[in-house]
Structure 1
Amino acid sequence: MAFSTAFTKLFGVRYPIALAPMGGSAGGALAAAVSLGGGLGLVGGGNGDREWLARELPLVAEGIDGPEGTGGRPWGIGFLTWAIDAGAVERALEYAPRAVMLSFGDPSPFAGRVREAGAALIIQVTDLEEARRAVDLGADVIVAQGTESGGHGARRGRSTLPFVPVVVDLAAPVPVLAAGGIADGRGLAAALALGAAGALIGTRFQATTEALVAPSVARAIVEGRGEGTERSNVLDIARGSPWPAKYTARTLGHPFLDRWRGREAELADDAQAKQAYQDGVARGELPALPVWAGEAVDLINDLPSAADLVGTLAAQAEDALARAGKG
Structure 2
Amino acid sequence: MALSTEFTELLGVRHPIVLAPMGGSAGGALAAAVSRGGGLGMLGAADGQREWLDREVPIVASGTDQPWGVGFLTWAIDAGAVEHAVSYGPRAVMFSFGDPGPFVDRVRRAGAALIIQVTDLDEARRAVDLGADVIVAQGTEAGGHGARRGRSTLPFVPVVVDLAAPVPVLAAGGIADGRGLAAALALGAAGALIGTRFQATAEALVDPEITRAIVEGRGEDTERSSMLDVVRGSRWPSTYTARTLGHPYLDRWRGREAELAGDVRSRQDYQDDVARGVIPRLPVWAGEAVDLITDVPSAADLVAALASQAEDALSRAGRR
Residue number in structure 2 paired with 1:286: 279
* In structure 2, distance between residues paired with 1:262 and 1:288: 24
Residue number in structure 1 paired with 2:21: 21
**Structure 2 residue 273 is matched with structure 1 residue 273:** no
**Structure 2 residue 240 is matched with structure 1 residue 247:** yes
**Which secondary structure state, in structure 2, belongs to the residue aligned with residue 181 of structure 1?**
coil
Instruction: Measure how far apart 1:313 and its partner are.
Output: 0.2
- Say if 2:2 and 2:311, in contact at 8 Å, map to a contact too: no
CA deviations on 1:144-167 (whole Å, 9 max, x unpaired) are 000000000011100000000000
Instruction: Measure how far apart 1:265 and its partner are.
Output: 1.9
**Structure 2 residue 53 is matched with structure 1 residue 53:** yes
Match of 1:204 among 193, 197, 201: 197
- Say if 1:182 and 1:201, in contact at 8 Å, map to a contact too: yes
* In structure 2, distance between residues paired with 1:226 and 1:235: 18
Instruction: Measure how far apart 1:79 and its partner are.
Output: 0.2
**Structure 2 residue 147 is matched with structure 1 residue 154:** yes
Indicate the RMSD between aligned Cα atoms, in angstroms: 0.6
Structure 1 segments, 4+ long, off by >3 Å, are: none
Q: What TM-score, normalized by structure 2, do the two folds share?
A: 0.99
* In structure 1, distance between residues paired with 2:71 and 2:258: 31
Show the 5 A alignment for 1:153-302: 153-302=146-295
Instruction: Measure how far apart 1:230 and its partner are.
Output: 0.2
Residue number in structure 1 paired with 2:33: 33
**Which secondary structure state, in structure 1, belongs to the residue aligned with residue 46 of structure 2?**
coil
Instruction: Measure how far apart 1:262 and its partner are.
Output: 2.2
Q: Which runs of 5+ in 1 are unaligned?
A: 65-71
* In structure 2, distance between residues paired with 1:139 and 1:263: 40
2:23 partner amino acid: G
Q: Which runs of 5+ in 2 are unaligned?
A: none
Show the 5 A alignment for 1:38-117: 38-64=38-64, 72-117=65-110
* In structure 1, distance between residues paired with 2:79 and 2:233: 24
* In structure 1, distance between residues paired with 2:110 and 2:228: 37
Identity among equivalent positions (%) equals 80
* Count of paired positions: 320
**Structure 2 residue 105 is matched with structure 1 residue 122:** no
Instruction: Measure how far apart 1:112 and its partner are.
Output: 1.2
* In structure 2, distance between residues paired with 1:273 and 1:151: 22
- Say if 2:134 and 2:169, in contact at 8 Å, map to a contact too: yes
1:78 partner amino acid: G
Instruction: Measure how far apart 1:86 and its partner are.
Output: 0.8
1:293 partner amino acid: A
